[in-house]
Amino acid sequence: MRLKLFAIAATAASLTAFSASAHESEGQYSADLRRMITETASGNCPTEIMAEQLLAACRQQIAQMSAGLASLGDVQSMTFTKADDTPEGRVETYSVVFANGTKLNWGIGHKKDGKYGAAYATS
């Protein structure tokens, strides 16, 4: 299952081509990812942390994303799994478990000027 949540600037190919670099024991973007998930589930696109392209995609898809994320329940846990360096910047991946038991892998990255250009989820 793949959830279509946010349009992203990077393709899977660019993520794969530049992976295997910055694996760390902890991610840097977990608080912002939790905020994106929580606010989007509530029907809000967090403008303070989304770059324009990501924000536009969020606004276009907010009705579907909000309903889908709300149906999963609250975030119960987030575990950092890896970081990849791409031409557009760092992308971190987290395993996120929701209250209903659903587990999704989330990517967040391409941070520039405090805002993210990529956020997406896969099962």
Written as one string, the DSSP assignment of 36-59 is: HHHHHHTT---TTTB-HHHHHHHH
Residue 69 confidence (pLDDT): 97
Q: What is the enclosing helix (H) or strand (E) of 66? A: helix 52-72
Adjacency order of strands within the sheet including 75-86: 75-86, 89-98, 103-109, 118-122
d(CA 12, CA 19) in angstroms, rounded, equals 10
CA dihedral 43, 78, 2, 22 (to 10 degrees): 120
What stretches in the chain show pLDDT beneath 50? 1-4, 6-24
Domains along the chain with CATH numbers: 12-122 (3.10.450)
Residue 26 confidence (pLDDT): 77
